[in-house]
Structure 1
Amino acid sequence: MTEQDPSADSDYVPRTLATRFTDSDRDRALERYIGTVLRQQRVERDLTIADVAGLAGLSRGMVSKIENGQVATSLDSLARLTEALGITFSQLFRDYDSPEGGAQLVKAGDGLEVVRRGTRKGHTYHLLAYNRGHQRNFEPFLISMDDESEAFPTFQHEGMQFIHMLTGEIEYRHGKHVYTLEAGDSFTFDARVPHGPERLVTVPLRFLAITVFDDGD
């Protein structure tokens, strides 16, 4: 069996490191989680460490260590702290072991610029989300155009496509029909039918184009 290529997956962990994840590592993760939740609950209630320590009958040093995940917390101490904060054990552990979800944030202006076949200068695609798995579910692009004289290729690919106009006006062809899209308009179509910009009416022009793929695409 060949070793996995680390460059193929940003979440890749070498086998030698993965085997070192022990019970003590999980214990520390749990301690950090408990400390984080207790601190958040305390701050939300505008309480100081001294306030919570007094209500729970614990030392300020102990409360501080618990919040920072530096000590293993006994059930008695946890019961005292949750009572002092007015929360239950179920609320404390509600989000523990919840899936991470794979959320992805692309800040304004940080989208990956992609050169599409047949496009020219003045016509840019910014990819707003990057596929991390083996299956491509959707592709969202922010497309900018500012050259009225540009000639556009015809596109044809799998999936359904959704366009939402942000600025400008464009005549957009889908099959045998041409549609006029203005700022605020939304347009959804089968991307397997030949499509693409027919004429830029008002520039600069920006729109979101999201392609959603079927499971088999």
Structure 2
Amino acid sequence: MDKHTNLDAFIGRTIHEFRKKQGLTIAEVSEQSNISRGMLSKIENGQVSPSLDSLLRISQALGIPISALFKEFDTEGETAQHVKANERLEVVRRGTKVGHTYHLLAYDSGPKKLFEPFLISLDNQSEIFPTFSHEGKVFMFLLEGELIYRHGKTKYHMKPGDSLTYDAKVSHGPEELIKVPIKFLNVVIYDNPVA
């Protein structure tokens, strides 16, 4: 396998990993990037050499800089990541459509996802409260605002400085926004690292 083929396969795997990490389907990325599902599948499987334009559109659909697709290719693999405040990645998650803003604070944690740290913002447009349920455990730390947060059948009245740790498989989410804007740090820790 030559270097060019290696790069195509590497980029395909990287796109696949970012897409899975964000819980997006090929159809969703296809629609956002205006690249056919078939072509996107071929790119993810390393069967074609995507153009830079295609890579740019895919990276924008995934909410990552295009450089993230090449970052670990042909490197020794560094053990630290510094993400500046103005470089935080805004990502699409289930709550995005109802006024929740998600910034992924680290996006390069190797081939297996061990954790995901998010800065989540809720504003007065966040009137619909979706419930969430997913793998892992969550550490939540309220930075600003005030809200009632529900985990299972229990409701927690949270103020700045309060924290909550819970099993993410149990239904959870905001129940009532008392004082907006609300900002909190959510760190999802995975029991069994996933690709």
- Whether the aligned pair in 1 keeps the contact of 2:114 and 2:193 (CA below 8 Å) is no
Report what 2:71 is aligned to: 10
Letter of the structure 1 residue corresponding to residue 151 of structure 2 = H
Q: C-alpha deviations, 1:113-145, integer Å up to 9, x for none?
A: 012124335320000000342200000000111
Higher strand residue share = 2
Q: CA deviation at 1:155?
A: 0.4
Does the 8 Å contact 1:148/1:201 carry over to 2? no
Task: Give the deviation of 1:173 after TM superposition.
Answer: 0.6
Question: 1:205 — aligned with what?
Answer: 182
Give runs of aligned pairs for residues 142-157 of structure 1, distance below 5 A. 142-147=119-124, 150-157=127-134
- Per the TM alignment, residue 110 of structure 1 is displaced from its structure 2 partner at its CA by 2.0
The answer on 1:131 being equivalent to 2:121 is no
In 2, Cα distance between equivalents of 1:11 and 1:101: 9
Structure 1: how far apart are the matches of 2:77 and 2:113? 19
Say which structure, 1 or 2, has more relative contact order (CA 8 Å, 6+ apart): 2
Equivalent pair of 2:113/2:193 in contact (CA under 8 Å)? no
Report the TM-score, using the length of structure 2 for normalisation: 0.61
Consecutive unaligned residues of structure 1, counting only runs of 5 or more, are: 19-98
Secondary structure of 1:167's aligned partner:
strand
Selected match of 1:172 from 139, 149, 162:
149
Residues 199 and 112 of structure 1, relative CA distance in 2, 3 Å threshold: same
Bigger CA radius of gyration:
1
Name structure 2 gaps, 5 residues minimum: 15-69
Return the alpha-carbon distance in structure 2 between the equivalents of residues 153 and 121 of structure 1. 8
Q: Which amino acid aligns with 1:139?
A: E
For residue 107 of structure 1, what is the aligned residue in structure 2?
Answer: 84
Cα distance in 2 for partners of 1:103, 1:216 equals 19
**In 2, Cα distance between the equivalents of 1:184 and 1:165?**
6
Whether the aligned pair in 2 keeps the contact of 1:148 and 1:199 (CA below 8 Å) is no
Q: Could you say what secondary structure the match of 1:119 adopts?
A: helix
- Equivalent residues in 2 for 1:31-46 (5 A)? none
Q: Distance in 2 between matches of 1:132 and 1:183?
A: 29
Contact 2:99/2:126, CA 8 A, preserved across alignment: no
Letter of the aligned partner of 1:11 in structure 2? E
Considering only aligned residues, what root-mean-square deviation do their CA atoms show, in Å?
2.3
Shift of 1:205: 0.7
CA contact (8 A) 1:148 1:200 kept: no
Percent identical across equivalent pairs? 52
TM-score by length of 1: 0.56
Aligned residue pair count: 133
| Structure 2 partner of 1:183 | 160
What CA deviation, in whole Å up to 9, does each residue of 1:81-125 have, x standing for no partner? xxxxxxxxxxxxxxxxxx974211111132100121243353200
